């Protein structure tokens, strides 16, 4: 019995840091609607800066002063980021801020190695909390007790801040309805900045408080960020008490999960998140979102099919691409094939995200399932390549059909998080179920058959399939189904009122997108000759998001251009420098600031500017209606 | 050194890559090297220094039969897919005669499979997985570092002598951790049928939640613990274990923990008396190693890690193979490498013909703390050749070429 | 009354939110070709009533019979399939599409082509969409992005969308809210004309009493969730209870002086 009690306390201690970081993320999201991907980076910076300061200042006072000072220093960094970067892009399409903070995260990962070196650092133990107290034969670290006491105190302080100060009242009001606060004449700029500073401070404090029990290293950010998203979503976005309860829930699940299911503790958390979201679509303490800006963006340029001239240009582009084998060597061709495959992948996500307004954070799941489909068919059933290519993507299709059914019941960030949860579940299975999937070591020996083995043949196969896939998706975009899908994105209320079953349309779109992603994954397996759990992982999902946003989420062909540019850039950078993350992150941030509509979006704006303006009627822009 | 072309992005780069190789001087031999420089700098930096030293030595001694040895190094960003792209670039554009390197097992396997498909010689440096030479072995792939099995066998030999009968295991839940535990258990159970396995902990790799794990192991009350965690997971596990007294009166046997890469971060919190494999560079008094360490410290003003040894020996081995083959034909390289013996800082090593595994060994010793730093004491070098299964067993595991 | 078939009949419709009765035991019927206004002060339960008829909200009690089908608790899209067009108090259109495309989507749905992934929508039922736009006087705006339209034009577009399924009944929630007075009269005249011509029943709520008294054949008056009066405009105008409510609220029938913004 004492054991279970101590295990419970241990879970509570783990919950403390999670709560600090998650509450920060939740507050930031609640007010600014920014999905701050860089929150993990601030957590990590908190740990690094605290390490430096606590090594510098001696004594107990030095330690605690170091922790608090470190959090303040990082909060200042956060303020700078908000003022220099985020302020410029609040009006960009939603999720664009995610792209910016993602770029920032990449940069920070390389920067901390440059500043603090590559080795794991061991921080000081907290003075006065070095040992453990005995409890019926069980040892409880005193630092755990400190953390257990800390999180309710922080929760209480935050409560006072939000309930008892004018600033807090404004923040709460802004969480409810941003436009209203703006209308009240509150200086929104500084409200956002201060909220961001508080959120970053909490993240950094969470990181700083880990140094007595953890190692400080450059992968801390990724380790925490997904968990924090999970906590925030389970608790309900914008709810601090929700973040607290969810942090405790997740940590206790971990603490007791390892006793019952030692091998699947990682899946357990995502399973719980999936169940919570299915049962309570806005998290435990969340409220249905008030009319927020619609995902992804609002364009006033209606989409139109290609004109005959543009169609000709597309054919010409394809013809030029098809001639690469005449000038390029094997390497150019394999890189070309890889780019073509990512064009397919990005186009499939674009279909879901831009056309359907459903931003999936776990689209790699279907890419990877397609790849594993090939692996199973080719290695276990020994089927010929052409059959594998036709059947392999069905696994992606099947996965999308099952997960999509649940995912489309939600919208916005909750949809994104549920797709992320599903992708993580699939990834964990592939990573940990070694007997079937080969685990981390993957499945090898999936090379194409003779007819497609040469780099040129495979390249032609890839661009051929890519052209077909992109053309097919384009046809669907302008088909009645595509319009119905856009209708559900533009106005659920109106689409329902003209007889459109939004969920079924969205589900179908999800399955189409998943299947096309599966096709990309299938080709990818043959290109690489092997399949690894990476091809289901978060970083690939994020890559796809970046491609779509980079190209321009409000455009029809953005994904194609975004995929080509991003993939070329990243392959080139990885080949040329060890600091590819720093450079790539910097480029992403620059693009976000310079071209908030993405590359294609920028060109369209330029083109429209050159056109003579239509005389516009006195504008009274329709208010965008929210979810019912 | 790394090549940087002052070129814009895009197709031009790829085309230029090929143009470059067309003009490669005939007085050079190029080998390709791939590793996770951006993902795992703590391990790959010393490794890079190691191979840079070796390269310098090889060329100072006249290169490969008079030709200058050139290493073209690429980052794989820790992803198998990127590693195959890099391998492709090295083989197709840079026209390297062999591939070397890799740290992570999955990347080693991906490149090994690539090598097999494209018929390129591949000398895997660091990946530990047994599969690379056994169940997924192929004729183009050789491996330098002692495998998972070999390290397990070395540890099991020492562990079997412990009185402990109740054992618990903790390992990261992925292929490496799972196979390390499986091999160790198998070898231990052969030597000591009397032992019991009382608890298994499988924290997710990189996300070990130390408190609950330590608590759960303590609850099973084992007499000894097998640890396979490493890196940041290990730091957390050790800290929490120390605080909660998990290691008091318990034996711990631990993979890799004696390697400076893993031991140094633990500083004064290094637990004492763990039986570990590793690299006690401060404690090795052989002429070969003295020579290596002097050269290394002179060049880099830093002490070597195990990665330094592996990087150094990888290029030394590559040079030896190339010199013997005197050709860039992969078949001739394989023929030259099979059974080839050469000196190393750890003494003479041989690349076995039967499975292409080198007989490089490891040091087994106990952890201790000295001047606030973790060290290995009572270390003994275990030759790799003594800890490999019989030829018959190996042939059974390895697919026929 | 007339011999026209009953389009809609409502019996004992009720709904309460957390103990507050938003709508209490409301019953009425609507004949084909009839224009029926539902009026009442703010918070009288008009919108709740509308949402229940349309399927947006599930009734707490009571039955709704539409065109001979029991539609109690049916979803909006099922109600729509029976031939009911709907416009909203705050317009709901598809801002990223052109005006014509907005109508085309409705026609696609009406033609049961929603899952057609092959046809080209820009060509789909182009002429039909054009006719509907002409009907509401929006032909000149067909290729405009819907997001650029002025509010009054959006209302007319909504009417065109609502007519796409050749409805037998139109449900219009505050059709003239947010419009200039002249536009209001125009829009209602247009609606009434179409309704009479095609023998469509219209149920609408309205704040503007000029509009109501000019166009409604019959008026229902809601107050605090209950139906307090029903009858021809003349009867309702004379009803002392109705007078009390409206005068009590400080509202006069002549609403020409309060150009309300969309609420």
Q: Which of B 338-357 lie inside 8 A of A, CB atoms?
A: none
Nearest Cα of chain A lies from the Cα of C244 at a distance, in angstroms, of 34
In B89-174, which residue ranges form alpha helices assigned H by DSSP?
105-118, 148-159
Q: Do residues A501 and C74 lie in contact, with contact meaning Cβ atoms separated by under 8 Å? A: no
- Whether B131 and chain A come into contact, CB under 8 Å, resolves to yes
Q: Do residues C165 and C87 lie in contact, with contact meaning Cβ atoms separated by under 8 Å? A: no
Q: Do residues A36 and A85 lie in contact, with contact meaning Cβ atoms separated by under 8 Å? A: no
Q: What residue ranges in A318-459 does DSSP mark as E strands?
A: 443-444
Neighbours of A288 (CB within 10 A): 10
Q: How many CB pairs under 8 A join A and C?
A: 143
Q: Determine A/B contact with 3+ CB pairs under 8 A as the test.
A: yes
Q: Is the pLDDT of residue B21 over 70?
A: no
Name all chains with 3 or more CB-CB pairs below 8 Å to chain C: A
* CA–CA gap between residue B120 and residue B108 (Å, rounded): 14
A113, A266, A577 ranked by CB distance to B207: nearest: A266
A479, A483, A494 ranked by CB distance to C101: nearest: A483
A467: left (phi over 0), alpha (psi -120 to 50) or beta: alpha
Q: Least CA distance to C120: which residue of chain A?
A: A479
Determine whether the interchain pair A440/B79 forms a contact, defined as Cβ–Cβ distance below 8 Å. Answer: no
Lowest mean pLDDT among A213-217, A305-309, A564-568, B299-303: A305-309
Nearest Cα of chain B lies from the Cα of A565 at a distance, in angstroms, of 8
Q: Least CA distance to C95: which residue of chain A?
A: A490
Q: Do residues B109 and B131 lie in contact, with contact meaning Cβ atoms separated by under 8 Å? A: yes
pLDDT digits (tens, 9 = 90+) for A486-542: 999 999 999 999 999 999 999 999 999 999 999 999 999 999 999 999 999 988 998
Percentage helix, strand, coil, to 5, in chain C?
Answer: 40, 25, 40
Determine whether the interchain pair A574/B173 forms a contact, defined as Cβ–Cβ distance below 8 Å. Answer: no
SS3 C31: strand
Determine whether the interchain pair A139/B245 forms a contact, defined as Cβ–Cβ distance below 8 Å. Answer: yes
* pLDDT score at C123: 87
Tokens coding B266: 């633990």
Q: Is the pLDDT of residue C230 over 70?
A: yes
- Whether A402 and chain B come into contact, CB under 8 Å, resolves to no
Q: Least CA distance to A225: which residue of chain B?
A: B207
C86, C106, C120 ranked by CB distance to A479: nearest: C120
Q: Do residues C170 and C32 lie in contact, with contact meaning Cβ atoms separated by under 8 Å? A: no
Nearest Cα of chain A lies from the Cα of B52 at a distance, in angstroms, of 16
Q: Least CA distance to B35: which residue of chain A?
A: A578
pLDDT digits (tens, 9 = 90+) for B82-124: 999 999 999 999 999 999 999 999 999 999 999 999 999 999 9
Determine whether the interchain pair B85/A580 forms a contact, defined as Cβ–Cβ distance below 8 Å. Answer: no
Q: Do residues A33 and A293 lie in contact, with contact meaning Cβ atoms separated by under 8 Å? A: yes
Which of these, A420, A361, A367, A365, lies nearest to A393 by C-alpha position? A367
pLDDT digits (tens, 9 = 90+) for B334-347: 999 999 999 999 99
Q: Least CA distance to B128: which residue of chain A?
A: A441
* pLDDT score at A547: 92
- Whether C259 and chain A come into contact, CB under 8 Å, resolves to no
Determine whether the interchain pair C161/A498 forms a contact, defined as Cβ–Cβ distance below 8 Å. Answer: yes
pLDDT digits (tens, 9 = 90+) for B221-236: 999 999 999 999 999 9
* CA–CA gap between residue A617 and residue A627 (Å, rounded): 28
Tokens coding C157: 């577009």
**Virtual torsion, Cα B292, B296, B302, B308, nearest 10 deg:** -70
pLDDT digits (tens, 9 = 90+) for A21-51: 999 999 998 888 888 889 999 999 999 999 9
Nearest Cα of chain A lies from the Cα of C140 at a distance, in angstroms, of 12
In C90-239, which residue ranges form alpha helices assigned H by DSSP?
99-110, 126-135, 151-163, 181-198, 209-215, 233-238
Q: Is the pLDDT of residue A461 over 60?
A: yes
In B61-169, which residue ranges form alpha helices assigned H by DSSP?
80-88, 105-118, 148-159
* CA–CA gap between residue A326 and residue A450 (Å, rounded): 20
* CA–CA gap between residue B384 and residue B144 (Å, rounded): 10
Beta bridge partners of B99: B32, B122
Tokens coding B57: 């030595």
* CA–CA gap between residue A19 and residue B213 (Å, rounded): 20
Cα-flanking dihedrals φ and ψ of residue A342, to 5°? -75, -25
C56, C77, C121 ranked by CB distance to A499: nearest: C77
Which of these, B163, B168, B202, B201, lies nearest to B185 by C-alpha position? B168
CA angle C62–C64–C65, rounded 5-degree value: 140
Buried b (16+ CB within 10 A) or exposed e, B55-65: bebbeeeebbe
Q: Is the pLDDT of residue A263 over 80?
A: no
pLDDT digits (tens, 9 = 90+) for B120-131: 999 999 999 999
Question: With helix as H, strand as E and coil as C, how does C53-96 read?
Answer: HHCCCCCCEEEEEECCEECCCCCHHHHHHCCEEEECCCCCCCCC
* CA–CA gap between residue A402 and residue A399 (Å, rounded): 5
Q: Determine B/C contact with 3+ CB pairs under 8 A as the test.
A: no
Q: Is the pLDDT of residue B12 over 50?
A: no
pLDDT digits (tens, 9 = 90+) for C150-197: 888 899 999 999 999 999 999 999 888 888 888 888 888 889 999 989
Q: Determine C/A contact with 3+ CB pairs under 8 A as the test.
A: yes
C-alpha distances in Å from residue B355, one per residue of B136, B343, B347, B392: 11, 20, 20, 11
Determine whether the interchain pair A497/C108 forms a contact, defined as Cβ–Cβ distance below 8 Å. Answer: no
C147, C152, C154, C164: best to mutate for the A interface, most A CBs within 10 A: C147
* pLDDT score at A206: 96
Which of these, B155, B154, B184, lies nearest to B382 by C-alpha position? B154
Contact residues on chain B for A335, CB-CB shorter than 8 A: 14, 85, 88-89
Determine whether the interchain pair C98/A475 forms a contact, defined as Cβ–Cβ distance below 8 Å. Answer: no
- Whether A439 and chain B come into contact, CB under 8 Å, resolves to yes
C-alpha distances in Å from residue C220, one per residue of B60, B186, C236, C251: 102, 86, 8, 17
A487, A620, A625 ranked by CB distance to C151: nearest: A620
Q: What residue ranges in A332-477 does DSSP mark as E strands?
A: 443-444
Q: Least CA distance to B217: which residue of chain A?
A: A259
A140, A143, A329 ranked by CB distance to B93: nearest: A329
Place of tokens 């993990």: A40
* CA–CA gap between residue C66 and residue C13 (Å, rounded): 14
CA angle A354–A36–B42, rounded 5-degree value: 110
Determine whether the interchain pair C119/A482 forms a contact, defined as Cβ–Cβ distance below 8 Å. Answer: no
pLDDT digits (tens, 9 = 90+) for A573-584: 988 888 888 998
- Whether A617 and chain B come into contact, CB under 8 Å, resolves to no
Contact residues on chain B for A327, CB-CB shorter than 8 A: 15
Q: What is the largest CA-CA distance in chain A?
A: 82
SS3 A597: coil
Neighbours of C245 (CB within 10 A): 21
Place of tokens 């600014």: A32
Q: Is the pLDDT of residue B2 over 50?
A: no
Which of these, C154, C113, B78, B317, lies nearest to A574 by C-alpha position? B78
Q: Is the pLDDT of residue B291 over 60?
A: yes
Contact residues on chain A for C94, CB-CB shorter than 8 A: 486-487, 490-491, 494-495
Determine whether the interchain pair C117/A621 forms a contact, defined as Cβ–Cβ distance below 8 Å. Answer: no
Q: Do residues B187 and B213 lie in contact, with contact meaning Cβ atoms separated by under 8 Å? A: no
Place of tokens 């020579």: B291
Q: Which of A 296-355 lie inside 8 A of B, CB atoms?
A: 324, 327-332, 334-335, 338
Which of these, B353, B358, B344, lies nearest to B313 by C-alpha position? B344
pLDDT digits (tens, 9 = 90+) for C79-138: 999 999 999 888 889 988 999 999 999 999 999 999 999 888 888 899 999 999 999 989
Nearest Cα of chain B lies from the Cα of A5 at a distance, in angstroms, of 11
* pLDDT score at C245: 78
Q: Do residues C190 and C160 lie in contact, with contact meaning Cβ atoms separated by under 8 Å? A: no
Q: Is the pLDDT of residue A451 over 70?
A: yes
* CA–CA gap between residue A217 and residue A595 (Å, rounded): 33
Percentage helix, strand, coil, to 5, in chain A?
Answer: 75, 5, 25
* pLDDT score at C20: 83
A575, A576, A590: best to mutate for the B interface, most B CBs within 10 A: A575
Place of tokens 């409000």: A554
* pLDDT score at B346: 97
Q: pLDDT confidence of A274, banded at 50, 70, 90?
A: confident
Contacts of A308 (CB under 8 A, 6+ apart): none
Q: Is the pLDDT of residue A621 over 60?
A: no
* CA–CA gap between residue C3 and residue B210 (Å, rounded): 81
**pTM confidence score:** 0.88
C57, C108, C145: best to mutate for the A interface, most A CBs within 10 A: C108
Q: pLDDT confidence of B3, banded at 50, 70, 90?
A: very low
Neighbours of B192 (CB within 10 A): 16
Contact residues on chain C for A496, CB-CB shorter than 8 A: 75-77
* CA–CA gap between residue A227 and residue A17 (Å, rounded): 11
B326: left (phi over 0), alpha (psi -120 to 50) or beta: left
Determine whether the interchain pair C120/A486 forms a contact, defined as Cβ–Cβ distance below 8 Å. Answer: no
Rounded mean pLDDT of B187-199? Answer: 95
Which of these, A214, A246, A213, A172, lies nearest to A19 by C-alpha position? A246
* CA–CA gap between residue A48 and residue A117 (Å, rounded): 11
Place of tokens 């309805």: A177
- Whether A440 and chain B come into contact, CB under 8 Å, resolves to yes
Contact residues on chain A for B240, CB-CB shorter than 8 A: 141, 213
Q: Which of C 26-65 lie inside 8 A of A, CB atoms?
A: 54, 56
Q: pLDDT confidence of A237, banded at 50, 70, 90?
A: confident
């Amino acid at each position: 019995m004492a054991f279970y009690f101590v295990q419970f306390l241990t879970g509570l201690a783990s919950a403390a840091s999670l709560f600090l970081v998650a509450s920060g993320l939740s507050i930031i999201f609640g007010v600014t609607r920014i999905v701050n991907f860089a929150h993990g980076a601030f957590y990590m910076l908190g740990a690094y800066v605290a390490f430096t300061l606590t090594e510098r200042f001696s004594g107990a006072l030095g330690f605690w002063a170091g922790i608090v000072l470190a959090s303040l220093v990082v909060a200042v960094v956060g303020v700078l980021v908000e003022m220099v970067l985020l302020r410029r892009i609040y009006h960009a399409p939603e999720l664009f801020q995610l792209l910016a903070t993602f770029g920032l995260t990449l940069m920070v990962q390389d920067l901390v190695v440059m500043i603090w070196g590559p080795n794991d650092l061991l921080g000081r133990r907290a003075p006065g909390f070095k040992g453990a107290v005995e409890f019926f034969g069980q040892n409880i670290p005193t630092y755990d007790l400190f953390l257990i006491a800390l999180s309710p105190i922080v929760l209480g302080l935050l409560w006072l801040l939000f309930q008892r100060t004018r600033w807090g009242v404004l923040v709460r009001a802004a969480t409810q309805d941003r436009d209203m606060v703006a209308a009240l004449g509150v200086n929104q700029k500084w409200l956002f900045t201060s909220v961001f500073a508080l959120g970053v401070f909490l993240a950094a404090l969470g990181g700083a408080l880990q140094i007595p029990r953890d190692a400080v290293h450059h992968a801390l950010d990724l380790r925490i960020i997904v968990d924090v998203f999970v906590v925030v979503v389970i608790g309900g976005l914008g709810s601090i008490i929700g973040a607290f309860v969810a942090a405790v829930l997740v940590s206790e699940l971990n603490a007791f999960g390892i006793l019952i299911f030692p091998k699947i503790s990682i899946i357990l958390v995502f399973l719980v998140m999936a169940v919570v979201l299915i049962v309570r679509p806005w998290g435990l303490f969340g409220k249905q979102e008030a009319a927020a800006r619609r995902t992804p963006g609002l364009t006033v340029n209606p989409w139109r099919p290609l004109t005959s001239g543009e169609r000709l240009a597309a054919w010409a582009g394809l013809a030029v691409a098809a001639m690469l084998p005449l000038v390029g060597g094997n390497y150019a061709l394999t890189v070309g094939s890889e780019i073509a495959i990512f064009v397919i992948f990005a186009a499939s996500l674009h279909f879901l995200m831009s056309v359907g307004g459903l931003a999936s954070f776990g689209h790699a799941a279907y890419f990877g399932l397609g790849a594993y489909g090939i692996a199973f068919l080719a290695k276990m059933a020994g089927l010929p390549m052409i059959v594998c290519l036709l059947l392999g993507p069905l696994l992606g299709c099947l996965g999308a059909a099952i997960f999509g059914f649940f995912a489309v019941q939600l919208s916005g960030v909750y949809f994104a998080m549920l797709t992320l949860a599903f992708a993580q579940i699939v990834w964990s299975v592939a990573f940990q179920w070694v007997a079937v999937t080969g685990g981390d070591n993957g499945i090898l020996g999936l090379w194409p058959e003779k007819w497609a083995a040469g780099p040129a043949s495979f390249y032609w196969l890839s661009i051929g399939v890519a052209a077909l896939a992109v053309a097919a998706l384009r046809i669907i975009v302008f088909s009645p189904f595509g319009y119905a899908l856009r209708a559900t994105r533009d106005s659920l209320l109106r689409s329902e009122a003209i007889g459109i079953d939004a969920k079924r349309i969205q589900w179908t779109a999800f399955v189409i997108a998943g299947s096309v992603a599966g096709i990309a994954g299938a080709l990818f397996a043959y290109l690489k000759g092997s399949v690894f759990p990476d091809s289901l992982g978060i970083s690939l999902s994020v890559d796809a998001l970046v491609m779509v946003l980079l190209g321009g989420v409000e455009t029809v062909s953005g994904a194609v251009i975004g995929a080509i540019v991003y993939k070329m850039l990243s392959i080139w950078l990885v080949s040329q420098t060890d600091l590819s993350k720093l450079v790539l992150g910097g480029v992403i941030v620059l693009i976000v600031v310079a071209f908030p509509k993405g590359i294609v979006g920028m060109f369209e704006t330029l083109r429209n500017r050159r056109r003579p303006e239509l005389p516009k009627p006195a504008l009274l822009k329709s208010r965008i209606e929210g979810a019912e | 050194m790394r090549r940087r072309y002052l070129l814009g992005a895009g197709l031009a780069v790829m085309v230029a890559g090929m143009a470059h190789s067309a003009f490669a001087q005939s007085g050079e031999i190029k080998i390709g090297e791939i590793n996770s420089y951006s993902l795992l700098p703590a391990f790959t930096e010393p490794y890079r220094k190691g191979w840079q030293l070796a390269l310098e030595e090889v060329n100072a001694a006249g290169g490969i039969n008079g030709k200058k040895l050139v290493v073209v190094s690429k980052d794989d960003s820790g992803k198998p897919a990127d590693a195959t792209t890099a391998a492709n670039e090295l083989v197709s554009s840079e026209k390297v005669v062999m591939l070397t390197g890799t740290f992570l097992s999955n990347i080693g396997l991906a490149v090994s499979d690539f090598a097999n498909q494209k018929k390129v010689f591949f000398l895997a440096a660091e990946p530990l997985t047994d599969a690379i030479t056994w169940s997924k072995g192929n004729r183009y792939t050789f491996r330098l570092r002692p495998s998972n099995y070999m390290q397990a066998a070395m540890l099991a030999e020492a562990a079997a002598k412990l009185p402990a009968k109740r054992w618990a295991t903790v390992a990261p839940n992925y292929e490496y951790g799972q196979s390390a535990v499986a091999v160790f258990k198998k070898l231990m159970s052969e030597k000591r049928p009397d032992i019991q396995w009382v608890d298994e902990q499988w924290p997710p790799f990189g996300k070990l939640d130390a408190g609950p794990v330590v608590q759960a192991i303590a609850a099973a009350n084992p007499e000894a613990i097998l640890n396979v965690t490493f890196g940041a997971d290990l730091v957390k596990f050790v800290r929490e274990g120390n605080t909660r007294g998990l290691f008091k009166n318990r034996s711990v046997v631990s993979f890799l923990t004696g390697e400076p890469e893993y031991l140094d971060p633990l500083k004064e919190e290094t637990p004492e008396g763990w039986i570990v494999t590793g690299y006690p560079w401060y404690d090795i008094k052989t002429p070969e190693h003295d020579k290596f360490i002097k050269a290394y410290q002179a060049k880099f003003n830093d002490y070597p890690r195990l990665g330094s040894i592996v990087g150094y020996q990888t290029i030394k081995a590559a040079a030896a193979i190339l010199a013997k083959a005197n050709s860039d034909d992969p078949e001739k390289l394989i023929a030259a490498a099979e059974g080839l013996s050469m000196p190393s800082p750890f003494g003479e090593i041989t690349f076995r013909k039967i499975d292409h595994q080198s007989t490089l060994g490891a040091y087994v010793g106990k952890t201790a703390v000295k001047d606030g730093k973790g060290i290995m004491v009572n270390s003994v070098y275990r030759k790799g050749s003594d800890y490999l299964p019989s030829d018959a067993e190996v042939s059974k595991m390895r697919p026929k070429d | 009354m007339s011999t026209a078939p009953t389009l809609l009949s409502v019996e004992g419709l009720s709904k309460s939110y957390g103990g507050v009765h938003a709508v209490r035991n409301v019953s009425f019927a609507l004949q084909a070709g009839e224009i029926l206004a539902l009026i009442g002060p703010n918070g009288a339960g008009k919108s709740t009533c509308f949402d229940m008829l349309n399927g947006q909200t599930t009734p707490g009690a009571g039955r709704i019979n539409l065109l001979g089908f029991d539609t109690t608790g049916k979803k909006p899209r099922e109600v729509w399939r029976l031939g009911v067009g709907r416009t909203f108090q705050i317009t709901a259109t598809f801002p990223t599409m052109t005006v014509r495309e907005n109508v085309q989507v409705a026609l696609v749905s009406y033609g049961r082509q929603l899952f057609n992934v092959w046809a080209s929508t820009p060509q789909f039922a182009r002429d039909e969409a054009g006719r509907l736009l002409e009907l509401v006087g929006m032909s000149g705006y067909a290729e405009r992005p819907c997001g650029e339209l002025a509010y009054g034009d959006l209302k007319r577009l909504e009417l065109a969308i609502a007519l796409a399924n050749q409805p037998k009944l139109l449900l219009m929630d505050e059709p003239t809210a947010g419009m200039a007075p002249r536009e209001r009269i125009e829009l209602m005249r247009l609606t009434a004309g179409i309704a009479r011509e095609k023998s469509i029943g219209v149920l609408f709520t309205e704040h503007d009493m000029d509009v109501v008294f000019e166009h409604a054949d019959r008026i229902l008056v809601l107050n605090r969730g209950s139906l307090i009066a029903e009858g021809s405009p003349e009867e309702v105008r004379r009803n002392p209870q109705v007078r009390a409510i409206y005068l009590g609220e400080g509202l006069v029938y002549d609403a020409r002086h309060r150009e309300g913004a969309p609420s």
